[in-house]
Amino acid sequence: MPEGHTIHRIASDHAKLLVGRSVSVSSPQGRFSADAALVDGDVLDRIEAYGKHLFLWWRSGYVGHVHLGLFGRFRVQKLTIGEAEPVPVGAVRMRLSTTSSVIDLAGPTACAIFTASERDAIVDRLGPDPLRSDAQPARAIERISRSGQALGALLLDQSVLCGVGNVYRAEALFVNGLHPSRRGRDTSPDELVTLWGTVVSMLCKGVKDNRIVTVDRRELGVSSNRRLRRGEATYVYHRDLCLRCGTPIQTVKLAGRPCYYCPRCQPS
């Protein structure tokens, strides 16, 4: 499932192609046809990312909602002047098209058109998004500090903070030397403030790079210009050995997913 940086990057990239334009909205697959008809030809005013949710604000007042889930993906195709729209490939739930681009959405967990109040109801269930300028970190820190749950579970709980997935939780905990099974209430306020800052920094870098890179290049002794290979991009996630100390990586299952950690760098 895409983590929050991917959704924010999609919002930014798609806004350049769609915002301020009249957009044709259709459903080649057919499952989204009734909703598509509500906004077909309407002007898109803005695209909003909130955690792992994407909201499309239409001038008519309707709001589109997309949650990619495990299998959802967008496909962007730019058109030359006068070029016809391409034939949809596969089961395309929603197509957004202008004279200069076509964006196809396939396989999302959620794809709907509804009202602003329904958008607000979704957001009200979410914790603060570390990538948003209006985030209130104190909300997440206070909730974590009162919880008897493990940090590794709390970081994946979208009602505590939203946008963090399996990679960022493992890497943020590693950078701060926190064992994933440590309870939230056993973590000091200063540690939680620093952990929040690490998450913000990692997600921001993810938006900029359009990929997850959590390591400090200085530790690898590589140039800032060289693209890191997949095995170099993380300290502990999906690794056999800790990138920092070489200790064999272990996992603990939290929130239904394995959380990678280094028993030496993150003592219990």
Query: What amino acid positions are annotated as catalytic residues?
Result: 2-3, 52, 257
DSSP assignment of 77-93 equals EE--TTPPPPPP-S-EE
b/e for 106-124, b at 16 or more Cβ within 10 A? Answer: bbbeebebbeeeebeebee
Among the listed residues 63, 34, 38, the one whose alpha carbon sits nearest the alpha carbon of residue 121: 63
Secondary structure of residue 139 in the 3-state scheme: helix
Give the span between the Cα atoms of 1 and 68, in whole angstroms: 7
Phi, psi angle pair for 145, to nearest 5°: -65, -20
CB 162 within 8 A of CB 236: no
Report residue 223 as tokens: 């140039």
